[in-house]
Amino acid sequence: MAADDEKTLVEILEEHNPIDLSKYINYVSAPQAGAIATFFGTTRDTFDGKEVVELRYEAYVPMAVKCIESICSSARSSWNLHSMAVAHRLGPVPVGETSVFIAVSAVHRADALEACRFVIDEVKASVPIWKKEVYSNGEVWKENSEFLERRLEFGKDVGSCSVKEPEVHNAGEEELLWF
C-alpha cells in the first residue's frame, strides 16, 4: 500500500487475501544485504485450552498504514537497514495461516534481527488492528498484551501510533563473531 525512498513496503490485505511470503522476501532481498530477518504470526489451534477455529482481524486501514510506516521509520533511525516489508491480513485467518509478516534486510544480522523484533512488538502494541478469536464454542475480542503494557506505561489514554523508542543494544565484537 505504501512505499518510500527508503525501500519500505507496508500492505494491509483485504479479506481472503493470503500473504505471499515470497513477494515480501523478494522485496527486501538485495546483493548488499547480508541478512534477512523474518517474522510471521500464524493462527494457532488452541488458546487457554479452547479450540481456536480462526482469528478475525479488523482495522482502520489509513491509520494502520500510517502507524506501521512510523514504526518502520523509527526502526530505520535506530538500526542500519536496507529494506523493510510489513503485511497484515484482515478478515478471517484460519488455523495454520499467516496473519502478519515482517521482513527486514540489513548488511548485518544483528540489525535485521533486532529491527524485526522491534517492528512486530510495536505493531502489536500500537497499530489500530483488532483481533477476534473464534473458538468452537464462542468468540471474544482480544487485546494484545503489548497494548495493555503500553497503556499502563503511558497512562490510560494511549493514542494511535504511540511508538516506543527502540532500545538499541550495540553488540561487542565478540558477540558479532558467533554463528
Cite the annotated binding site by residue number. 108-109, 124, 131-133
**Nearest-angstrom CA–CA distance, 158 and 117:** 21
Report which DSSP code applies to 34: S
In the chain, the N- to C-terminal Cα span, in Å, equals: 36
Three-state DSSP at 154 gives helix
**Nearest-angstrom CA–CA distance, 25 and 9:** 11
Three-state DSSP at 125 gives helix
Binding residues for substrate: 108-109, 124, 131-133
Residues paired with 42 in a beta bridge: 98
113 near 37, Cβ under 8 Å?
A: yes
